A and B are shown apart, each in its own frame.
Chain A
Amino acid sequence: MNILFDIRYYILYPSFFAPIILPGLIFTAILLLTTIWFERKAAARVQMRVGPYYASKRLGGYLQLVADALKFVFSEVIVPDGVNPTLFALTPVLVVAMSFLPLAVIPVSVIPPSGSIFSIYFYDFYDPNVGLGVLVGLFTQYNMLLILAIESIYPAMIILMAWSTNNRFAIVGAVRESYLSVSYDVLLLMSTISMALEYHTLDLVKIVQSGVPGILANPLAAVTFFIAMIIGSARFPFDIAEADTELVLGPATEYSGLLFVLTMAGSYVGNFVYALVFTDMFLWGWYPLSGFPGALLTVIKASILVFFSVFLRSVYGRYRLDQALRGSWKYIFPLAIASMFLGLVVGYLWIQ
């Protein structure tokens, strides 16, 4: 019994549980397959088709994705001539790592002092801002800034990947990605700062525990953040860097096999990370609940957001680069400034 208790203690320890099990690696891997299945199935429904079906008829073709994943894992990795093989193999790993890292600092739930399975860790993850423990891999009071800082390394890794493959399509994709990354990072930062000004904090836990959902407090910031999320995770209609009809797959052109899976996983994981931040910041996160059910609520809300953003594939075509830049700088950027002013004014009037 003692050993079992020890195992349970270490598995449920938030520094292990959050990055590895619930919002972390295992759940994200399952969500990745489910998201891609949902993307194909939803696009098929809207376009009057059936979508994946024959791999498992009862599950609606869900096992097709498992089959695809197995096929990719066991297919050959081709390293082109004239590239640095170390960099070539390393950069997809870096891309995925950089998009996974923020999962360690995103709070997914709070820990009450008693009554939850996480309550024994209450004092180790104590948040003085709200007087509760936080279910998070690494507790910091400035997690909003830390998440965005880590996630903003991701486009740099995409550009590194394109440069290291020494392919002309990849270089064009990297140039497009660099244009876009500047425009959406500005939007993300400005909407986050407006929320920080409004709630007088850089701690996502305090925003959720304040009891007012951010989408009511600052709807402009929510719209800005959502559009920036779609641009940032390369979903349609902003699938510009990896436009497969023009540039073969953009920065991921030369990759095959397992490395290709990693390059594709990066944007989906990035989408999930942004969706978790969006849930915490605007959609009340775990609010009425706490402990494990709270974490589940947060993750379910974020998954629905991810599903919605992949659903957009069936509705939209792809914007040209100049249209996307014009949209983000001419229409969304003034919206971000307006959201910042709204945050300032409301935050000044509403002192918590």
Chain B
Amino acid sequence: MDSVKIKEYKKGESPFNVVSGHLQAVGAGIKYFVKPQRITLKYPDESMSLPTGYRGMIRLYKDVCIGCTLCAMVCPADAMKMVTDQGKKFPTINYGRCVFCAFCVDICPVDALKETGVHDAAFSNRRELIFNPEKFDQDFDQPPLRPVVRKVKAVIDEDKGIKYVPDTE
């Protein structure tokens, strides 16, 4: 830990240290103002291509499901609930509660639940956030109204931290 140097400001030193601190702060601000290092994406125009295994919204394969209720039991946010449909139990999900931990996907003994890569969805009221088994059984996607101009992916850069490069795929 000796290699890490931490700059400390001691009390009672000369006020010139205060002055140089202020000058350094303003200088750093001007440096970032002249050469901005933006890390926000202009979302509907640019969007990030997601990595494989991304935990997005979850979908159900109704014909595979055996109704064992394990997913509802393990759900930490109480988003999964079981309902009985024609004598058989199926899960419903409330995306108002879901924390996208995908524990339900992990615990499912027959792989009836799967993560999709969809994460950008908008709903106009809270009732739409609850997916009953019929809606849960279908692939859910809300494509943006305007087409995405540029797909980018994030790479780690030595100087900047995060850099976005165009995704060629």
Using a CB–CB distance below 8 Å, which chain A residues touch chain B? Answer: 42, 45-46, 48-50, 53, 311-312, 314-316, 331
| Residue B40 is within 8 A (CB to CB) of chain A in the complex | yes
| Listed A/B pairs (8) with beta-carbon separation below 8 Å | A42-B33, A45-B32, A46-B36, A50-B42, A311-B29, A311-B30, A312-B26, A315-B26
Chain B residues, CB < 8 A from A315: 25-26, 28-29
A-side contacts of B39, CB under 8 Å: 48
Tell yes or no: B15 within 8 A of A by CB: yes
The residues of B that contact A53 with a CB separation of less than 8 Å are 42
Contact of B33 among A46, A49, A50, A316 (CB under 8 A): A46
Query: For the complex, is B38 an interface residue (Cβ under 8 Å from A)?
Result: yes
12 new A-B contacts, CB < 8 A, other than A48-B40, A50-B38, are A45-B36, A46-B33, A48-B32, A48-B36, A48-B37, A48-B38, A50-B42, A311-B29, A314-B32, A314-B33, A315-B25, A315-B26
Per-residue contact bits, chain B 14-52, to A (CB 8 Å; 1 contact, 0 not): 010010000001101110110011111010000000000
Least CB distance, B39 to chain A, in whole angstroms: 5
Contact B29 A46 (CB under 8 A): yes
Give bound CA distance, A315 to B30, whole Å: 9
Contact present for A50 and B40 (CB under 8 Å) = yes
User: CA of A49 to CA of B15 in the docked complex: distance in angstroms?
Assistant: 34
Number of A-B residue pairs, CB cutoff 8 Å, is 36
**Cβ of A331: which chain B residues have Cβ within 8 Å of it?**
15, 18
Point out the residues of chain B lying under 8 angstroms from A316, CB to CB: 25
Contact across chains for A46 and B32 when beta carbons are under 8 A apart: yes
A57 to nearest B CB, angstroms?
Answer: 9
Q: Which residue of B lies closest to A46 (CB)?
A: B32
Contact B25–A49 (Cβ < 8 Å): no
Min C-beta distance of B57 to chain A, whole Å = 26
Residue among B28, B30, B36, B39 with max Cβ neighbours from chain A (10 Å): B36
Number of interface residues of B (CB under 8 A): 15
Q: B40: which A residues are within 8 A, CB to CB?
A: 48-50
Name B28's closest neighbour in chain A (CB-CB).
Answer: A315
Contact A311 B33 (CB under 8 A): yes
- Minimum CB–CB distance from B159 to chain A (whole Å) comes to 13
Residues of B close to A46: CB separation below 8 A = 29, 32-33, 36
Q: Which 9 A-B pairs have the closest CB atoms?
A: A315-B29, A45-B36, A46-B32, A48-B39, A315-B25, A49-B40, A45-B33, A48-B38, A46-B29
Q: From residue B25, how far is it (CB to closest CB) to chain A in Å? A: 5
| Interfacial chain B residues near A311, Cβ < 8 Å | 29-30, 33
Give the complex CA separation of A42 and B34 in angstroms: 10
Most B CB contacts (10 A, CB to CB) among A48, A314, A316 go to A48
Q: Quick one: given A50-B42, A331-B15, are A314 and B37 in contact (CB under 8 Å)? A: no
Docked complex Cα distance between A202 and B157 (Å):
58
Nearest residue, chain A, Cβ from B38? A48
Taking CB atoms, residues of chain B closer than 8 Å to A45 are 32-33, 36, 38
Binary contact readout B93-127 vs A (1 if CB under 8 angstroms, 0 otherwise): 00000000000000000000000000000000000
* B15 contacts across to A, CB distance below 8 A: 331
Task: Please measure, in the bound complex, the distance between the C-alpha atom of A50 and the C-alpha atom of B18, giving whole angstroms.
Answer: 31
**A314: chain B residues within 8 A (beta carbon):** 29, 32-33
Question: Of all chain A residues, which has the CB nearest B26?
Answer: A315
Residues of B within 8 A of A50 (CB): 38, 40, 42
Query: Within the assembled complex, what's the spacing in Å between the Cα atoms of A331 and B17?
Result: 13
- Residues of A near B32 (CB, < 8 A) are 45-46, 48, 314
**Nearest B residue to A223, CB-CB:** B19
Shortest Cβ distance from A180 into chain B, in angstroms?
Answer: 19
Closest Cβ of chain A to B24, distance in Å, is 10
Residues of A within 8 A of B36 (CB): 45-46, 48
User: Which residues of chain A come closer than 8 Å to B33, judged between CB atoms?
Assistant: 42, 45-46, 311, 314
Using CB atoms, name the residue of chain B closest to A335.
B15
Residues of B within 8 A of A49 (CB): 38, 40
> Which B115-163 residues have C-beta < 8 A from chain A?
none
A50 to B40, CA, bound (A): 7
Contact partners of B29 in chain A: CB under 8 A: 46, 311-312, 314-315
Which of the listed residues B15, B25, B33 has the most CB atoms from chain A within 10 Å of its own CB?
B33
- Closest CB in chain B relative to A336 CB, distance in Å: 15
Minimum Cβ distance to chain B for residue A308 (Å): 9
B146 to chain A minimum Cβ distance, whole angstroms, is 12
